[in-house]
A and B are shown apart, each in its own frame.
Chain A
Amino acid sequence: MKFLPLIWSGIWRKPGRTVLIFLQVCVAFALFGVLQGLKTGVEQLISQTRADVLLVHGTLALFDPLPLSLLERIKSVPGVKVVAPVELFGATYQSPDQKLGVVAVRPVEGWLSAFSYTIAPEYVAAFRQSRTAAIIRDVVATKYGWKIGDHIPLLSKTVQKNGSTDWAFDVVGTYADSDLGGGGDTLLINYDYFDEARVESKGTVKHFKVAIADPALAATVADEIDRRFANSANETRTESMRELAQSQLQSIGDLNFLIRSIVAAVFVALLFATATMMMQSIRERLPELGVLKTLGFTDAAVFLFILAEALTIFVAAAVCGLGLALTVFPLASKVVPGLSMPLIVVAAGLACAILAATVSAVIPAIFAARSNIVAALAGRR
Chain B
Amino acid sequence: MNFARQCLALLRVNLAGLIERPSSALTILVGVTCAVGALVSMLAMGTGARRQEMGDVRADHAVLSKTGERPGQSDIPRDEAAAILGLPGIRKGSAGEPIVVFESMTFIEGRRRGTRTRIYFPVIGVTPTITEYLPEMRFTGGRMFRPGLQELIAGDSCARQFTGFELGDSRLIHGVAWTVVGHFDEDEAQQCVVYGDVDSIMSAFKSNTYTSVGVMLQSAADFSAFRDAVAANPALHLEALPERAVVEDEFKQLNAILYFVAYFVGSIMALGATLGAVNSLYAIVDSRRRELATLRAIGFAPGSLVVAVLVESVLLAIPGALLGSGLAWILFNGLAASPLGYSIRLAVTPALVGLGILWALGMGLLGGLLPALRAARIPVTTALRAI
Q: Which of B3-11, B228-236, B333-341 contacts A (4 or more CB under 8 A)?
A: B333-341
Residue numbers in B under 8 Å from A31 (CB-CB): 265, 268-269, 272
A35 at the interface (CB under 8 A from B): yes
Cβ contact of A251, chosen from B205, B276, B339, cutoff 8 A:
B339
Q: Which of B29-37, B153-161, B353-361 contacts A (4 or more CB under 8 A)?
A: B29-37
Tell me the complex Cα distance, A247–B120, Å: 10
Cβ contact of B257, chosen from A61, A247, A272, A335, cutoff 8 A:
A335
Residue numbers in B under 8 Å from A30 (CB-CB): 268
B41 at the interface (CB under 8 A from A): yes
Render B321-353 as a binary contact track against A, CB cut-off 8 A, 1 for contact. 000000000011000011111100000000000
B96 at the interface (CB under 8 A from A): no
B275 at the interface (CB under 8 A from A): yes
Chain A residue nearest to B25 (CB atoms) is: A276
A62 at the interface (CB under 8 A from B): yes
Contact B275 A24 (CB under 8 A): yes
On whether A261 and B41 interact (CB within 8 A), knowing A251-B338, A255-B337, the answer reads yes
Residue numbers in B under 8 Å from A83 (CB-CB): none
On whether A17 and B68 interact (CB within 8 A), knowing A247-B117, A266-B34, A280-B23, the answer reads no
Contact A269 B279 (CB under 8 A): no
Chain A residue nearest to B346 (CB atoms) is: A258
- The number of residues on chain B lying at the interface, defined by a beta carbon within 8 Å of a beta carbon of chain A, is 54
Contact A258 B282 (CB under 8 A): no
Contact B117 A269 (CB under 8 A): no
On whether A273 and B38 interact (CB within 8 A), knowing A62-B120, A280-B23, the answer reads no
On whether A24 and B269 interact (CB within 8 A), knowing A255-B339, A272-B27, the answer reads no
A378 at the interface (CB under 8 A from B): no
Contact A269 B268 (CB under 8 A): no
B280 at the interface (CB under 8 A from A): yes
How far, in Å, is A34 (CB) from chain B's closest CB? 8
Contact A237 B257 (CB under 8 A): no
What bracket does the count of chain A residues touching chain B fall in? 35 or more
On whether A266 and B283 interact (CB within 8 A), knowing A61-B109, A252-B340, A277-B27, the answer reads no
Contact A20 B268 (CB under 8 A): no
Render A228-266 as a binary contact track against B, CB cut-off 8 A, 1 for contact. 000001000100000000011011101101100110011
Contact A273 B27 (CB under 8 A): yes
B118 at the interface (CB under 8 A from A): yes
Cβ contact of A23, chosen from B26, B109, B275, cutoff 8 A:
B275
Which residues between 198 and 219 of chain B lie within 8 Å of chain A, taking CB atoms? 205
Residue numbers in B under 8 Å from A266 (CB-CB): 34, 38, 269, 272
Contact B108 A269 (CB under 8 A): no
Which residues between 51 and 92 of chain A lie within 8 Å of chain B, taking CB atoms? 59-64
Tell me the complex Cα distance, A276–B82, Å: 74
Tell me the complex Cα distance, A182–B34, Å: 37
Residue numbers in B under 8 Å from A279 (CB-CB): 23
A96 at the interface (CB under 8 A from B): yes
On whether A269 and B272 interact (CB within 8 A), knowing A17-B282, A237-B109, A251-B340, the answer reads yes
A16 at the interface (CB under 8 A from B): yes
Tell me the complex Cα distance, A63–B205, Å: 11
Q: Can you sample 11 A-B contacts with CB below 8 Å?
A: A30-B268, A61-B106, A62-B107, A96-B68, A254-B337, A258-B45, A262-B269, A269-B30, A269-B34, A272-B30, A273-B30
| Partner-B contacts on A (CB < 8 A) | 16-17, 20-21, 23-24, 27-28, 30-31, 34-35, 59-64, 96, 157, 233, 237, 247-248, 250-252, 254-255, 257-258, 261-262, 265-266, 268-270, 272-273, 276-277, 279-280, 335
